[in-house]
Every structure is written in structure tokens, then in C-alpha cells.
Amino acid sequence: MNEVYEFEWVEVADFDDMSSYAAELFERQLLRKPDSVLGLATGASPIGFYEKLVERHAQGTFSFAQTWTFNLDEYIGVEPSHPTSFHNYMKEHLFEKVNLPVTRRHLPDGMADDLNEACLRYEMMIRTSGGIDMQLLGIGVNGHIGFNEPGTSFHSRTHIVDLAESTRTVNAKYFPSKDAVPRQAITMGIQTILEAKQIVLLALGEQKVEAVEQLKRGVISEDFPASCLHRHPHVTVFYGK
Ligand code: F6R
């Protein structure tokens, strides 16, 4: 349970390289198991990954017809159709471009009347699907994964979070102003993420150097959420400047 594992560290030359390698891993996963359950992320890091995956899918070698997807997170109080929602991001970058049936796509419901119930339901759906086979992650400058900010319990499951000020500042570029950035989100928990069978982390760019260094030091602490990944036996990290 408290075993510590080595990551597979893959240094990449650039964004294009990282995106291709990661897309190849997901393609291989879908070739091996067409009804895979994929855990997906939003943000700047996976944009190239989705582009490559869509390109590969267009070649007709694999299908999303039997695949299930679960995204890491969604803002609370942002309509799915709003341009800044993660629902919209996923439509734009993946869902509208591949043959993944609507009923197989899942993101947390940040508009639910009962948000706690929505969190429980999300956990249940992941479990009912058989669990996540391959989980894509980005990393925040403060080490967050999903929206699990520093201090989040490693035992957490899908839950409501108050976004860290640093996260709101970084994400302000997607909104008219920082004030418009939601203060809360629903995110898969750390425990939920750790239950994925395989994890692929994208950590490229100057802004991520410090976080990557901290990961390399290997100190496991809830103050640096991504450090939980050292407890997972199958993590690939694509990193570079
Ligand atoms: C996105 C998510 C976040 C991002 C992280 C890095 O669904 O959960 O943890 O992966 O904030 O974001 P980028 O890739 O924009 O640097």
C-alpha cells in the first residue's frame, strides 16, 4: 500500500513530440482494448495530444465507438455550453471530431442542484464502468493534479474544491478577467486518480520546471499533490522545457 515506485521519465524535445508520444500510448490502449475507460484532462498541455489523437483516429485504425471517457474536473456554476467550460473544451478538441457516442462521455456536473450527490454519482459511474484504464494528467505550477490543490487528502474521491488563488490566476487567461474565474470546481479525488490502471502525465515548459524538479526529488507529501503518483506502479511522465 505504501510502496514507492519509479516513474517512467520520458524527456521530450518539444510540444509536438510530447503530444505524439502521448497520443500513441492512448492509440495503443484503444487498439488493445476498444472498450477502454479513459480518464481525460483539459488545459493547455493536452491540446496537441487531442490533435494527434484525432489525426490518428481519422486514419481509421481504431475507434471510440465502445470507449468510455471520464474527465478529471469541471467548474461549478459554468454552463456546459459556455466557451470556458471543460464540457465545451472537450467538444471542441475531441468529442466533435471522433466517433465517441454522447452517452459514453462523462464530465462532472458543475450545474447540479445537489453537488455532493453529483460527486458521489460520478464516482459510482467510474466504478460501474469498470474503472479507468488510462488516465491523462497535466500538472499545476503548485503541483495540483485534477483540481486537487495542495493539502488535499490522498484518500479523497470526487469532491468539491475551492480553487487556489494561483490556479485562478493561471486560468484567468481563459476568462474576461480574474474575477470571472470560478472559485469552485468538482474534481476527481487523488484516490480516484490513483485507482487508474495506468497514468500519463504531461509536464512541459518553463513554468513546469520547478514542479518537475519537485517530483524528481520524490518526497511524498499532501502539500504537493502530484507526489501521490509515486505510490502508483505505472506512471509515464513526459517532460521537458
Ligand atoms: C485539467 C486539470 C488541471 C490541469 C493543470 C495544468 O483538467 O485538471 O490539473 O491539467 O492545471 O494545466 P495546463 O495544462 O493548462 O498547464
CATH of the domain at 176: 3.40.50.1360
* Residues of the domain holding 89: 8-240
The model's pLDDT over 84-121, given as tens digits with 9 standing for 90+, comes to 999 999 999 999 999 999 999 999 999 999 999 999 99
Ligand 1 atom closest to 146 (CA): 8
Is residue 166 assigned to a domain? yes
Is residue 3 assigned to a domain? no
Classify each residue of 176-195 as buried b or exposed e, where b means 16 or more C-beta atoms within 10 Å of its C-beta: eeeeebbeebbbbbbbbbbb
Is residue 27 assigned to a domain? yes
Residues designated as active site: 73, 142, 144, 149
In the reported structure, the alpha carbon of residue 42 is separated from the centroid of ligand 1 by a whole-number distance in angstroms of: 6
Q: Which three cell numbers stand for residue 47?
A: 491540446
Is residue 1 assigned to a domain? no
Q: What is the pTM of this model?
A: 0.98
The model's pLDDT over 132-174, given as tens digits with 9 standing for 90+, comes to 999 999 999 999 999 999 999 999 999 999 999 999 999 999 9
Instruction: Give the chain's domain count.
Output: 1
Is residue 2 assigned to a domain? no
